[in-house]
Amino acid sequence: MTTLVTLYLLLVAIVIVGIIVRDAFSGEEELISIRNFFLFGMLIFQVTSGAYLIASNYWGEFVPSDVGSASVTYSFYLTVFLVLFFASGRVTTRFVDKLYGRRERLPIRVAPYNTMLIAFATIPAGLLCQFVFKYIPIIGPGMGYLAFGLYAVGAGLATWTVVPRIYNPAYLLGAAAVIGMGMALTFYENFGRRDLLGIVVAIIWAAYYCRWRAMPVGKLLVRLVLLGAAGTVLLFAVTSARSPEFRSRGIIENVMSLREANLTDGFDDILSGQAAPMASMWLIESRPDSKDYDTLHSARMALLMPIPRRVWPDKPLALALTMPQQEVHIAKRPDNYNIGPGIIGHIANDNPLIALWLYPIAIAVFVRFCDRTVAWFADNPFVVLPIGAAVGQFIGMPRGELGSFFFIGVVNIVGAFVIMISLSVFLKTLGLIKADAPLDDDDDRYADYEEHPESEAGHGHA
């Protein structure tokens, strides 16, 4: 039975990749999109890792007593989730396109030195969120998460500025400074990788939308592979070198610990999806026999995230924490040790009779709205980059914690958009940047900035 499940999961992986490639070549979907990054996370943390764990007997800390039976149910839930996700996305596309089709799209022209100045301004704005605003009651938790979203936006703005003029040393050094500072700040008392991943993906996201999407497919793929490979090696290093001590150490100590990184260990950790599929199967088997369903726990977590625990001490805990701390009691682990339940595990815990159809539809609608917004305004960095600030959360969402990641993703998108616009207005008020006058036919001030007059250009369409 487990052999058949392994082969089926590999087939599912092939189908997902096939849909991504088909939609990119047909123009139905941008190759770089929230949907595809979410599907990338599904592949890593639920599909290919599930096949790998079952085939290799590398099962992790949460193992169902009957792997064969649990894996069959797991495959069924996964299939239903993906079918509903794809179907809901296609239905939503027509609605969003009809909404945007009623509006006139105006060309956006921003001088490159202005975008670079705003990119630099995201660093102090992020510092305020990371070290000051996070202590404000109610909004504090969101401000802490927003800081890392701003560093991703800053990296995206810097990339947006430098890619069309890559041989200009001033812009190149400026972009390196913004990206370097943003990456460094994600290492401050931080154990997670999603914040660093968010910056890596923001660079790819910005490069694609500012110029690369109009390239021939061959050149595009070469650039994406090279940039993606560099980011992947960095993430492998962080994955293998990180430890619970990261949460109490400063930037220099955590960065220096990368010297001890073992890329093979990092690769194996990613290949296994950090055992999230097996945790999902364990939840499938244990609910509701050993523990009742916690109906829509993830949805409630997303809604309750802004409430400080000191205000509500009994606020529900994340499933990623309660599984190892209250159910299995894993020995020799720190108090804040958590695991990835997997998105299918969250569905199993949250009552699959409701969650199995509600969660994929809700995620698909939100993702599709973001992607179609980007497609319709693909030449506007003030729309494209804030949405790209949440990509790291959507890659990690299939691993879990589902509700927390969704909340952080929404905060990053909305907060980054508001702060980007606010920074632009503030700097204009100070006279540090000037409003751009409409371009005349003979005005070539931004000739090196212009990419494509219509957002339909490239591999997607609006």
Please determine, for residue 449, whether its predicted confidence score (pLDDT) is greater than 60. no
Q: Is residue 370 classed as helix, strand or coil in its secondary structure?
A: helix
Q: Please state, in angstroms and rounded to a whole number, the distance separating the CA atoms of residues 289 and 259.
A: 46
SS (H, E, C) 170-189: HHHHHHHHHHHHHHHHCCCC
Full DSSP string of 103-145: SPPPP----HHHHHHHHHHHHHHHHHHHHTGGGSTTTHHHHHH
For 147-188, how does the pLDDT look when each residue is reduced to its tens digit (9 = 90+)? 888 898 899 999 999 998 888 899 999 999 999 999 888 887
| Residue type for position 275 | A
Distance of CA 380 to the CA centre of its chain: 20
pLDDT at 460: 46
Retrieve residue 310's tokens.
């000191």
Q: Which of 219-228, 238-247, 349-358 ranks highest by mean pLDDT?
A: 349-358
For the stretch 258-309, pLDDT in tens is 667 666 776 777 788 888 999 999 999 999 888 899 999 999 999 988 787 7
* Mean pLDDT of all residues belonging to the chain: 82
CA 409 – CA 419 distance, rounded (Å) = 15
Please give the model's pTM, rounded to 2 decimal places: 0.85
Distance separating alpha carbons of residues 427 and 429, to the nearest angstrom: 5
- For residue 77, pLDDT beyond 60: yes
Phi, psi (degrees; rounded to nearest 5) at 377: -125, 45
pLDDT in tens, 335-379: 667 788 999 999 999 999 999 999 999 999 999 999 999 988 888
Closest CA to 282 of 79, 73, 78: 73
Q: Is residue 330 predicted with pLDDT exceeding 80?
A: no
The percentage of the chain sitting over the pLDDT mark of 90, rounded to a whole number, equals 32
pLDDT at 262: 67
Per-residue pLDDT averaged across 409-425, rounded? 83
Measured distance CA(405)–CA(446) in Å, rounded: 38
Residues 319-324: contacts with CB under 8 Å, at least 24 apart:
319/294, 319/345, 319/346, 319/349, 319/400, 319/401, 320/400, 320/401, 323/62, 323/279, 323/283, 324/61
